[in-house]
Structure formats: C-alpha cells, structure tokens
Amino acid sequence: MSTQTNGTTMTNGPQHANGSDKERVVIIGSGNWQVLSTLGSAIASVAAKNVLLHHELFHPEVKMWVFEEDYEGKPLTRVINETHMNPRYLPDIPLGDNVTAEPDLGKALQGATALVFVMPHQFFRKALDGIKGKVSQNARAVSLIKGVDVHGTKIQAYATIVNEELGISCSSLSGANIATEVAEGKFSESTLGVPSPDGFEGDPDTLPDARLWKPLFDTKTFSISVVADVEGVGLCGALKNIVAVAAGFIDGLGWGSNSKAAIMRIGMNEIKDFSLEYFPTTRAETFLEQSCGIADIITSCLGGRNRKVAEAMVKEGKPFQELEESMLKGQKLQGPETALHVHEFLAARGTKRPGGYPLFDAVWRICYEGAKPESIIDKL
C-alpha cells in the first residue's frame, strides 16, 4: 500500500493511519545528549498543546520515550511524570500535563501512529534494532535527526533511512530552532518536508502527511511552512554544520562581518548545488528561501558548537579532536565529520559543478589535512 515517490514512501492509506482511531503521538527522543533532548522536550511541549487543540485528529496523550537516567536520586521519567517538566534538559518549562515519559521503548511505541524521531544520528542505527517490528505499518514518522548517512557512493538523509528500514512514510522537520527559544514561545519558524507524488507542483499543505504533522507542530510562535521536499529539509540540517565550521574559522581569524556573510552565502549555495546534483527531487527554494535553509545556516554560523570549536581551533592552534575532549566532554562535533563524509563521497562519485565544492573541500582540508585556516578563501 505504498509508492516510492520524492525520495521516500508515501502511505496511500486513510488519513488516520489507525483507521477510525485518532492519531497517537510518540516522541522518540534519546537522553544523555543535551541539544536534542532539549529539542525533544520543546517539541513535546508544542505537540502537547496541539493534540488538545486538534482533538478531532489526535489522542490527547503525547508519549515521550526518554532514556532512563538518574535525576537527584529518582528516575528521570518519574520526575517528568510527577512534575510535568524535564528538569535535566528543559528546566522551568511546563511540558503539559498530557505528556507521559516512558523509559521502555516497546511500551512507548504501543499503538503509536505518529512517530517523531528526535535523536543524535549516531544513536539512530542502534535505536532501530529496538524499534523494528514494534511499529504499526499504518504509522507515519517525521525525522528531526540531523546528519547524513554516507557509505562510499551512497548518501542518505535520515528520513529516507526511516522510510527504508521501517517501511513507513517519513517526513522531515528542520529549521532555525534553538530548542530553549522554541520552548519559551519565542517566535520561531520551521520547515516541514513531506512526501509528494513525483513532479508535484500543487499546494504542499494539501499533501496527506502535511495534514498530520502541520496541525501537530504549528503554533503562532512556532510557524511551520510545508515543502514537498523531504530530503532537502533533512540535508540542510546536516550540511549546514560544515558551513558553521567555516564561519568559526573566520571568527578565529578575526576577518569580520563581510567575510562571515560571504561564507554563509557561499556555503548556502554549495549546500543547494550539492543537494540538487545528487538528490534530484530536492528543490532550490528549500535551501534559499526556507527556515531549514538560509535561516538555520544563519543561526548555526552565529551560535552553536561547530562554530565555537572551529573558532578555538584557529585561536588555540589545536586540532578539533583535542577540543572535542576539552570543550565538549568527548562528544563528537558534526561539522568536521560531515565534511569528511562529503569529501569521501565526492572522491568516489566526482562532481559536475565547475570548480567543485571549494568551501566544503577547504573545511575538510583544514580539519583533516593540516591546511592553514587562511587557505579557506583560496579557491572561493
């Protein structure tokens, strides 16, 4: 009952995947990773309001799979269920009384028809083993996972992997979304990429998966715009980290605002051209006009870990691996790794873009080949 379109599988079933029942939402977060656990909680707080508002469409409970950990002598899930807050990852923000934290993945997935994946990409493959076989084939998913999965000449966005591995329709949600600001109700935008028939040129808001996910996420202060481009939305969230590293180098070099704006512009164009070259269903406007594109590039180049560590690489003259230890307590930085993946991919596949992807290449050379940060502009 599914057709492969636009880089993912569309479910042709009824709008409510579980027949006459209402959609049951589960946020599949994963703890012990600050940024995305915070985003998972923020998204839960948004969804918790919207399932009540759109009660004709949703079951009133939002489940949140939370990796169990100790919080001041109590299990974190119990603290969340008693206080309706997540004191570890999103202190002082009420999640909503209808959010239930569940440490058991199988239980969390029971009956769920609307799966929201919010986890670091490196945990996803491991989590898959616990998920496979537990998901209803009528369920649909949306991925907030940042990253691309590269094996030799194959490169994939995570929504495509969810779709392939679980056999369910999967959308993407990404944007300029610093989690605490979303949770505090400060005006934010995000882009929802949904599956569409090949060559679709209609109003993306009318697509079946838009009718599920937009009501779940859209609020006056979390403004969702829909595009018929699942992969484009996912790719932005991964590739922007390369650009953020480049922006950090500019900060470290003290080259100023003109340079930094130039790097963001050039980076955006490389992201767009790379995506259009290798993902034929992606659309230029996803990168150029949407929150998941230019707006997220801007926030990542102004704040964020990738920018910060890259700046320190230049100022302290240390490799990023050493700074991951000292600045990130050993957590992995996504920008250099993504630059490496893209480099390997391009080495295997080649490119038709005149001049190649000089900014992506420079970030790889500086991170892995000992090139000087000043060389970043040499081929631009």
Q: Which is nearer to its own copies, 229 or 337 (CB)?
A: 229
Measured N-to-C along each axis, helices 256-278 and 358-368 cross at an angle, to the nearest 10 degrees, of 110
Stretch that binds its own copies, among 82-90, 179-187, 237-245, 355-363 (CB under 8 A): 179-187
CB of 125 to its own copies, least distance (A): 30
What does each C-alpha distance from 272 to 59, 279, 282, 345, 378 come to in angstroms? 38, 10, 9, 16, 21
For residue 291, give the DSSP letter.
I
Q: Which is nearer to its own copies, 120 or 293 (CB)?
A: 293
User: From the centroid of its chain, how far is CA 348?
Assistant: 26
Smallest Cα–Cα separation from 157: which of 279, 241, 243?
A: 279
* CB nearer to its own copies: pick between 294 and 333: 294
H-type alpha helices, 64-151: 76-83, 105-109, 121-131
Annotated catalytic residue: which of 63, 240, 260, 272? 240
How large is the C-alpha radius of gyration of the chain?
Answer: 20
Does 35 bind its own copies (CB under 8 A)? Our answer is no
Q: Binders of its own copies among 285-314, rule CB under 8 A?
A: 288-291, 294-296, 298-299, 302-303
Q: Which residue is associated with the tokens 């707006």?
A: 295
Of 12 and 221, the one with the shorter C-beta distance to its own copies is: 221
Q: Is 272 known to be catalytic?
A: no
- Pick the closest to residue 242 from 324, 159, 337, 322 (CA basis): 337
CB of 188 to its own copies, least distance (A): 4
Instruction: Compute, in degrees rounded to 10, the torsion defined by CA atoms 311, 309, 307, 282.
Output: 130
User: Do 193 and 233 form a contact (C-beta atoms < 8 A)?
Assistant: yes
Residues in 251-290 at the binding interface with its own copies, rule: CB under 8 A: 255-262, 264-265, 268-269, 288-290
Binding-site size for its own copies (CB under 8 A) equals 38
Tokens of 120: 């670091």
304 marked among binding-site residues: no
Q: Does 38 bind its own copies (CB under 8 A)?
A: no
Annotated binding site: 29-40, 67, 123, 146, 179, 305-306, 332, 334
Tell me the catalytic residues: 240
Give residues in contact with its own copies (CB under 8 A).
Answer: 175-178, 181-182, 186-189, 220-221, 223, 255-262, 264-265, 268-269, 288-291, 294-296, 298-299, 302-303, 377, 380
